[in-house]
Structure 1
Amino acid sequence: MTSVLTLESVPRDKKTEKAAKAAAPGTVRPVGHFVTLTDTPGGSSRPVAHVERELPPDGIPAYLAARKEGIRSFVLWAEPERRSRLATLVTVSTAEGVSMYEVRDGQGAPVGTILREKALYGRGLRTRWTVTQPGCPEAVGYKGRIFWWYVWWLLFPVQVAIGVGSVLAGGGDVARGPRRVIWRAGGEVPLEFRSDGDEVHVHAPWVDRRLAAALAALIRSFDSWMGTPWDDKRE
């Protein structure tokens, strides 16, 4: 049975946002994002993790500076009140477009690792994602399909013209590059990221849902220049 995990943001109206910004210094703001899980096609979803950045001692400016180098640090809480940790994603290493992340459980024990090799920096022309879980086969996926990347680059001059027109006229849309990722482990497809709904589909029962939820948050933090990464906010 396939499970679907989706990173979503907590809906807030302008009044709520204004009240949060006007709160006294030291006031703890609620967690702004959560991951939902759907077990059956067309079924109802439920929140399974509440996600936020884990900031370094120097706060948001230091986090934003570090994320430019590929560094990420997230906490997945079991509740929006931050009572207990489900998992934590930390950066193990990052250099020349290749970044290794580790997902740990609430007690700090390793759940699995995620390796991201940026296109043209790692082992191919496409961004490569490798998901590893102890005792399970290594799963490797590539961002987009070769055919659709070929089509996208053929149309790139047109997209640039549309982009310039959008800036000047205040309207218009530019097509994003291919983003779908299909992970393969031998003859199995344990994981899949579908760009149309920004969903991580878990097809194999042995995939740890904490690792999959962290993957859903991590992928969305690397949205392309046309996207809106959830973890790059300045407040």
Structure 2
Amino acid sequence: MTSVLRLKSVPPDKKSEKAAGPGAARPVGHVVSLADAPGSTSRAVAHVERELPPGGIPAYLAARKDGTRSFVLWADPERRSRLATLVTASAAEGVSVYQVRGGQGELIGTFVREKALSGKGLRTRWTVTQTGCPEAVGYKGRIFWWYVWWLLFPVQVAIGVGSLLSGGGDVARGPRRIVWRAGREVPLEFRSDDDEVHVHATWVDWRLAAALAALVRTFDSWIGTPWDDSRT
């Protein structure tokens, strides 16, 4: 059975913020929801926020330009229990390695993102490795749709210029779907229409899939809205 995870923003509760008073910790702004099957009712399973380095938000935003990411999956909005943490093991020359660790610091799995044209292909390559499980490899977008997108690129540029001048129009985003394969199995899939991670294999740790759902969304295209690039 396929389960579905999706990162969602949480609208701020002005009344709760006012009652908490100045200086209180800001509420967690995003959650990962889980549905046990496509189309079924979802429930919040993790509350996601950036884990800032020394230097705070400016330091995080500077580091993320090179591919560095760091965030926490909390079990509750009050931050009482840590489910998992994503940290950057390395990020250089278009290749970033991320580790997902559980609440006790144990390694759940690893993500490797190799940016397109970084030396290993024309498409961005994502490798997912869960401890004790087969490695899964996926590529951003299908080659056919990338060809179509590049053929239409001059038109997209014209639309983009028109959008800036008139405030209207809509530029088509590049192909974003990712299908991960481990041999003949397809354990994971990112569907760009609804920004969902579909888990097809029962052996996939849902915490790893939740971290993946949050991580992929930090790499939205230049016309997307990465959730972790806020200046506040």
> TM-score of the superposition, structure 2-length normalised?
0.97
1:77 to 50, 74, 77: 74
User: In the alignment, does 2:196 pair up with 1:199?
Assistant: yes
Q: Residue 12 of structure 2: SS of its match in structure 1?
A: coil
1:159 to 156, 159, 173: 156
Match of 1:119 in 2: 116
Match of 2:222 in 1: 225
Q: Residue 163 of structure 1: SS of its match in structure 2?
A: helix
* Structure 1: stretches of 5+ with no match in the other structure: none
Q: Could you tell me which amino acid in structure 1 is paired with residue 77 of structure 2?
A: P
Give me the whole-angstrom Cα distance separating, in 1, the residues matched to 2:75 and 2:207. 11
Give me the whole-angstrom Cα distance separating, in 1, the residues matched to 2:21 and 2:160. 38
User: In the alignment, does 2:140 pair up with 1:143?
Assistant: yes
Q: Residue 171 of structure 1: SS of its match in structure 2?
A: coil
Q: Could you tell me which amino acid in structure 1 is paired with residue 160 of structure 2?
A: G
The root-mean-square deviation of aligned C-alpha atoms, in Å, is 1.5
Q: Which runs of 4+ in 1 moved over 3 A?
A: none
User: In the alignment, does 2:37 pair up with 1:40?
Assistant: yes
- Asked whether the 8 Å contact 1:90–1:103 carries over to 2, the reply is yes
Matched residue count = 231
- Asked whether the 8 Å contact 2:95–2:118 carries over to 1, the reply is yes
- Asked whether the 8 Å contact 2:12–2:27 carries over to 1, the reply is no
| CA drift at 1:122 | 4.0
Equivalences for residues 12-27 of structure 1 within 5 A: 12=12, 16=14, 24=22, 26-27=23-24
| CA drift at 1:123 | 1.2
- Asked whether the 8 Å contact 1:144–1:180 carries over to 2, the reply is yes
- Asked whether the 8 Å contact 2:12–2:29 carries over to 1, the reply is no
| CA drift at 1:158 | 0.1
Match of 1:174 in 2: 171
Match of 1:211 in 2: 208
Q: Deviations along 1:29-79, whole A, 9 cap, x unmatched? A: 110000000012321000000000000121000000000010000000000
| CA drift at 1:23 | 5.1
* Structure 2: stretches of 5+ with no match in the other structure: none
Match of 1:11 in 2: 11
> TM-score of the superposition, structure 1-length normalised?
0.95
Q: Could you tell me which amino acid in structure 1 is paired with residue 195 of structure 2?
A: D
